[in-house]
Amino acid sequence: MITATTRSSLSAPRARRVRSIELHGPAGRLEAVLNEGSPDAACAAVVCHPHPLGGGSLHNKVVYHASRSEGEHDGAAEAGDVLAALTWLENEYKLPLVAAGFSFGAAMVLAACCGSGSIPCPKSQTWGTQSLSGAPQNLRAVAALGLPVRSGIEAPRYDYGYLAHCRIPKLFLSGDNDRFAKKSELIEIVAAAAEPKRVALVPGADHFFTGQLEFMQSYLSGWLKEQVYDPGQRPSV
């Protein structure tokens, strides 16, 4: 699993410093890329990319910055990596936190922030038994981009039942032509999740939001502004 850290003001692009950092997660060393954003950033965010064994990397077109983990890609340790990155950001910047992930990264973000140790996998499988300590109290929102429901057409369905108890604001943003998540199945998962939540399907978009990346980015940015800024506070645009 690859975890990325980025700090964003959710505003127009400015000159930013990007540097490599090293964190420590339950699976070993985490090599991350940090985008420091603007000095008046409103939040700090962790962004997680797809499964490395499926070609996920820090150059993924949906996820802009990512890190590598030493150790096995077993799900449990990688959800712990997400928490390690969030804890580092919280200690480093003292800002409200946001967690986002794409594909497998979306599943790991949800497991880390909402699962309390329950790792999303087919009910017939177990990805690990590691106990997770839970999300930081300063976590404002979780965004799942291209959340997989199955690893393939005939594959067993992943279990996201723990979302029924997750009270963190959640966004489920996917293409309505995503081959890893039928619309009906994704809507069913979201319907069973606790409030607050929102599901948005991008018309004609596939799993990678091909041709719709700008729309996806704009929608995500708008939703995050609603979660991060206090009512009546006017964000810069």
Domain ranges for the chain: 3-228
Q: What is the pLDDT of residue 154?
A: 74
Give the pLDDT of residue 101: 92
Question: What are the residue ranges of helices labelled H in 3-154?
Answer: 76-93, 104-114
> Would you say 4 and 58 are in contact if contact means Cβ atoms under 8 Å apart?
yes
Architecture of domain 3-228 in this structure: 3-Layer(aba) Sandwich (3.40)
Which stretch of DSSP H or E encloses residue 214? helix 213-228
pLDDT value at position 133?
54
Q: What is the DSSP letter of 31?
A: E
The residues pairing with 3 across neighbouring beta strands, listed in sequence order, are: 48
State both tokens at 81.
């990596």
What pLDDT is stored for residue 15 in this prediction?
Answer: 54
Which regions of the chain are under pLDDT 50?
Answer: 1-12, 51-75, 117-119, 123-131, 232-237
Look up the pTM and report it.
0.79
